[in-house]
Amino acid sequence: MTEEDRTDRDLGARFARLREEERAGGEDYRRFAARVAARARLRARPRRRLVLPALAAMAAAIVLAVLILRGGSGGATAPAWGRIDLSATSLRMPTDFLLDTPGNELLRSVPALGAPDGTATGGLIHAPATPTPEKPS
Amino acid sequence: MGVTRAELEAGIEEHHAASLGWALSCCGWDRGEAEDVLQSSYLKVLDGRARFGGRSSFRTWLFGVIRRTAAEHRRRAALRWLWLPLTGADGAALHDPAPDAARVLERSEESTRLVDALRVLPRRQREVLHLVFYEELTIRETAAVLGVTVGSARQHYERGKRRLRELLDPEACR
């Protein structure tokens, strides 16, 4: 008998003993099935108790999501923090005075087209609001 | 032609003791987990989620179903373990890896040593040794259960046997 044969025989005997012990302490299929079914019912109970709170939480989450989405799309209930009026903002830097050149107000003013005199526009001569055809001389 | 439910139940009943042993091995000899796995496997077979095609013996096929179900349970347990810090649940309540005291007392000292040594082996080697020695399957049937080639199963068998012998009888291996 080789060393390998002895190992096989030894392991076979050890596993056989383990198998016998496990099977002696085990139960037949019918009893196992009945016990497992009873345990499954016991486990299912707490889950059933959690169903209602879980559904309520889900419904609350859906309502909240709908409210936020409707608010974000600019409806009447839009929250104040969701809108910024860009036209009301202005940025003044400490060095802005360097850009103030002499006569700046003349350049920035909007000419009043068709005004009777140029005083309103700082003395500038403007073309009339509607161009008049040139008279032949 | 398919297999009827009565035939499936008869097959399950016939191989129940062997299936429980295999489930125990797949679950690291944790009896509670093994029974859960076995329950899920039987349900899969009976409600048609796992279909017996007749390409192998019923026992080989059933062992394959149990092995895949045990792997699913392990993955689920790992996910639950990841969720524990977020949910604040008690980990011990979900999974208790400590062996059942009554079961430990029932096992002889020799068998307890064997189970402890098997736990040290890599999973594939442990599975091959269990199927060959405990379930008395051939290497070919073992390969079919594990979904590997016969050559691969043989290699795991040889390595596992050598390692198990070293663990059980370190003096003889020196």
ipTM: 0.79
Q: Is residue A105 part of a domain?
A: no
Q: Is residue A8 part of a domain?
A: yes
Q: In which band, very low, low, confident or very high, does the pLDDT at A134 lie, cut at 50, 70 and 90?
A: low
Query: Looking at residue A33, what is its pLDDT?
Result: 82
Q: Does the distance separating the beta carbons of B42 and A33 come in below 8 Å?
A: yes
Task: Tell me the nearest-neighbour CA distance from A25 into chain B, angstroms.
Answer: 8
The residue with greater pLDDT, B138 or A118, is B138
Q: Is residue A65 part of a domain?
A: yes
Write down all domains in chain B, each with its CATH number in brackets. 1-101 (1.10.1740.10), 107-174 (1.10.10.10)
Query: Looking at residue A69, what is its pLDDT?
Result: 85
pTM: 0.61
Task: Give residue for tokens 């604040």.
Answer: B88
Inter-chain contacts counted by CB atoms under 8 A, chains A and B: 59
Whether pLDDT at A78 is above 60: no
Report yes or no: B12 and B61 within 8 Å, Cβ to Cβ.
Answer: no
Domain that residue A43 falls in: 3-74
Query: Looking at residue B84, what is its pLDDT?
Result: 66
Q: Is residue A80 part of a domain?
A: no
Q: In which band, very low, low, confident or very high, does the pLDDT at A31 lie, cut at 50, 70 and 90?
A: confident
Rounded to a whole number of angstroms, the distance between the first and last alpha carbons of chain B is: 57
Q: Is residue A119 part of a domain?
A: no
Low-confidence residues in chain B, pLDDT < 70: 1, 84-106, 172-174
Specify the amino acid at residue A36: V
Q: Which site among A2, A5, A18 would you substitute to test the B interface, given the most B Cβ atoms closer than 10 Å to its Cβ?
A: A18
Task: Give residue for tokens 């149990």.
Answer: B66
The total of structural domains in chain A comes to: 1
Q: Is residue A35 part of a domain?
A: yes
CB-based contact (8 Å) between B52 and chain A? Answer: no
Q: In which band, very low, low, confident or very high, does the pLDDT at A2 lie, cut at 50, 70 and 90?
A: confident
SS3 A116: coil
Specify the amino acid at residue A64: L
CB-based contact (8 Å) between B108 and chain A? Answer: yes
Query: Looking at residue B93, what is its pLDDT?
Result: 47
CA distance B157 to B30: 23
The residue with greater pLDDT, A77 or A90, is A90
Q: Is residue A101 part of a domain?
A: no
The residue with greater pLDDT, A62 or A85, is A62
Spell out which residues of chain B touch residue A47, defining contact as CB-CB under 8 Å: none
Report yes or no: B160 and B128 within 8 Å, Cβ to Cβ.
Answer: yes
User: For residue range B144-170, what is the model confidence (pLDDT) as tens digits?
Assistant: 999 999 999 999 999 999 999 999 887
Q: Which site among B19, B87, B111 would you substitute to test the A interface, given the most A Cβ atoms closer than 10 Å to its Cβ?
A: B111
